[in-house]
Amino acid sequence: MSPAYGYHPGMIRAQDFDRLYIHSGGRRGTDAWPHATDSAAEFLSFPADTAVRDQVKALVDRDRDRSILIFAHSIGAVSAVLAADRLNIAGLVLVEPALYDLARGDAAIERHIAIVTEARDLASGGELRGFWAILRPLMFGGHFDPTHWDDERALAERWASTNVPWGHGVRERTLRGIPTLAVTGGWNAEYEAIAQVLVATGARHVVLPGAQHRPQDLESFPAVVERFERSLS
């Protein structure tokens, strides 16, 4: 195994860990991880309004003897990383990890945070349409169309109250010594900036273009994970 991971060869065997999958803000369960074929895998599902600290507590409070390999997508990586140093962990597979705290100061990261903060301030003041007019182009592309407001209002309400992926105290030191694979789609400067910080902590980084924010949907994803899992033995 590469010494960058900080573990000694033979410390962990691939068959000695369980797989745990954490979704992001969209799909859940096997829908979120279409290539997960391990019948013994566990898929955590958090209600949309669950605070990050409560997600971390749920992870830490799990009563398991065997070590776990955690797969986490987007904002799900925040809870996974915050809990990692308190778990019996074999490694982390972080897909498009929204670990914005790690890359503060990067131009793309700061732009995203500034736009979302402006939009959320409007929502907090009761201006939900104004919030959506700012957030929709950032997150989904295209302009806000008032004629679609009735159809999109519920989605706007959800995004106005969902957790933001910064301000949670994620630090590089938490990841040092934990075997980590970061998989990004090569489409967004924010996730690539975060991945470069992870590489500096010893993580392996693989870019899988073609599915934007969901590289785990690609047929090439399982082979990348398999190579990483072999490195844990």
In terms of domains, do 21 and 67 share one?
yes
Classify 202 in phi/psi space as left (phi over 0), alpha (psi -120 to 50) or beta. left
Last residue of a domain, one of 120, 145, 161: 161
In terms of domains, do 42 and 113 share one?
no
pLDDT of 25: 78
In terms of domains, do 113 and 226 share one?
no
Check: CB of residue 79 under 8 Å from CB of residue 72: yes
**Does residue 96 sit in helix, strand or coil?**
coil
In terms of domains, do 79 and 179 share one?
yes
Question: In terms of residue numbers, what domain contains 138?
Answer: 107-161
| Nearest residue to 201 (alpha-carbon basis) of 7, 68, 9, 4 | 4
**DSSP category for residue 232:** T
Rounded (to 5) percent helix, strand, coil in the chain: 45, 15, 40
Phi (first) and psi of residue 47, to 5 degrees: -55, 150
Taking the C-alpha atoms of residue 67 and residue 88, their distance in angstroms, rounded to an integer, is 5
pLDDT of 11: 40
pLDDT of 181: 98
Check: CB of residue 102 under 8 Å from CB of residue 194: yes
**DSSP category for residue 11:** S
User: Residue 178 belongs to what H/E stretch?
Assistant: none
Q: Is 125 exposed, middle or buried (0-12, 13-18, 19+ CB in 10 A)?
A: exposed
| Nearest residue to 93 (alpha-carbon basis) of 233, 216, 217 | 216
pLDDT of 190: 98
Tell me how many domains the chain contains.
Answer: 2
Chunk the chain into consecutive blocks of 10 residues (it has 233) and report each block's average pLDDT, rounded to whole numbers: 30 68 86 91 87 94 86 96 94 98 98 98 98 96 94 96 96 94 98 98 97 97 97 85
Instruction: Look up the pTM and report it.
Output: 0.90
Taking the C-alpha atoms of residue 1 and residue 18, their distance in angstroms, rounded to an integer, is 19
In terms of domains, do 118 and 224 share one?
no
Q: Which CATH number characterizes residue 14's domain? A: 3.40.50.1820
In terms of domains, do 79 and 193 share one?
yes
Q: Which residues does 187 contact at the CB level (< 8 Å), separation at least 6?
A: 209, 212, 213
